[in-house]
Amino acid sequence: MPELPEVQTVVDQLDERLTGRRIALGGAFLWHGTAGYPEADALIARVAGRQVAGVRRRAKYILVDLGDDLLLVIHLRMTGNLHFAAPEDPAHPYLRVRLPLDNGQELRFADMRKFGRFYAGVPNELDTVIPLARLGPEPLDEGFTPVVLGERLAGKRGPIKSALLDQAVLAGLGNIYVDEALFRAGINPLRPAGSLAAVELDQLHAGIGAALREALANRGTSFRDYLSVSGETGDNEPNLQVFRRHGQSCVRCGQPLARIVVGGRGTHYCPNCQR
DNA sequence: CGGACAACCTGGTTGC
DNA sequence: TGCAACCAGGTTGTCC
C-alpha cells in the first residue's frame, strides 16, 4: 500500500499517540510470519516494558525508538495497517499483532496479505536483517539536489522507472509516485537511468518533490487498502495525473494515456508528453 | 552488477 | 452466471 507520503502520515500520527507510552506485557503475534526478526516470542520479550521515545521514518520503514538504541521497526508492505483499539474491541479480520500499552489501549497491526514485517534490535544488528544502511537519500531532505540525483543514477543502463523504484538509489518512492514524478518531468519511463541530461535531472528532481509534497499535504493516496492510524483514507487520488489513468486524456496535451510493463511493474505515462 | 522472474499472500477485477 | 487468469501501492532471493 504505502509509499513515502502514506508512511509519513502514519508516522506522524503514531508519534503523536505512541510517544511516551510504555509497551505493556501480554503482546502477541497472531500470525508468526509477521515477526521478521527475531522470532515472535523473542520480539515480544524485547519490546515489552519499553517506553516509546519517538517515532520516525526512513524510506518506507517506521522506526519506533525504544531507548538504549533499541528500535522496533515496522514495514507495512502492501496491506499493513496500524491502529489503536481497546482490548475488548472486536478484532479486525486480518489482525496479526497486538501490543498492549500502559494506558489501557493497544496498538494493533492488521495485514490482509501477510507481507508486513516487524523487526526489533539495535542498529548494527538490524543491518544484518534489513538494508537500512544501504538505503539511498531521502528525496525531501535539503541535501537531495539534482546533482545528487544524477550521482545516484550515473552509470545505470536500466530504465529510469526501475532505478527510481530501487530503495538503494532513492528512498521512499513506489509505483504511484515514480509514475507521477516522471510525468511531471516529461521523461519517458524507459529512458536509460544514466542518460539524463542536467536539465532533465532538474526537471525530475522537481517532479519528485512536487509529487511527494502534494501527496503529503493530502495525507497520501488510498486506492483500496491504505488507511492511516486514525482509520482515514488519504485525499490525494484526485491529484494523480497518470497513475491508473490509462485510456483517459492527458491533462497537458489531451492525448490518451498509456500503460506498459517496465521491470514487471505496471507503468502509466503519456506517450506524447514523455518521449 | 544488472536484469528477469519467482516467491511471499489474499482478494478484487477482467475476460471468456 | 461461473470460473480461470490476471492484477495489486513492496521487497527479497535466485538464476543467468
According to CATH, what is the number of the domain A146-269?
Answer: 1.10.8.50
Which residue has cell 482490548?
A87
- Walking along chain A (275 residues) 10 residues at a time, the average pLDDT comes out as 93 97 97 96 98 97 97 96 96 96 97 96 93 94 96 93 95 96 96 95 97 96 87 92 93 94 92 94
Per-residue confidence (pLDDT) for residue A1, from 0 to 100: 63
Cell 550515473 maps to which residue?
A154
The CA distance from A74 to A64, in Å, is: 8
pLDDT for A67: 97
Q: Give the distance, in angstroms, between residue A25 CA and nucleotide C8 C1'.
A: 36
pLDDT of the residue at A238 = 93
> Which letter, b or e, does each residue of A251-265 get, where b requires 16 or more Cβ atoms within 10 Å of its Cβ?
eeeeeebbeeebeee
Among all protein residues, pick the one whose CA is nearest to the C1' atom of C9: A1
pLDDT of residue A225: 82
Question: Which residues make up the interface with nucleic strand B when CB must lie under 7 A?
Answer: A 33, 112-115, 155-159, 162, 224, 263-264
Predicted local distance difference test score (pLDDT) of residue A257: 93
Q: Which helix (H) or strand (E) holds A73?
A: strand A71-75
- Contact predicate A268/A243, CB 8 Å: yes
CATH of domain A4-134: 3.20.190.10
- Tell which strand C nucleotides have any atom below 7 Å from a protein Cβ: 7-12
The confidence score (pLDDT) of residue A173 equals 96
Q: How far is CA A128 from CA A36, A56, A122, A208, A249, in A?
A: 12, 21, 11, 30, 47
Eight-state DSSP code of residue A148: H
Domain ranges of chain A: 4-134, 146-269
3-state helix, strand, coil in chain A (%, to 5): 30, 20, 45
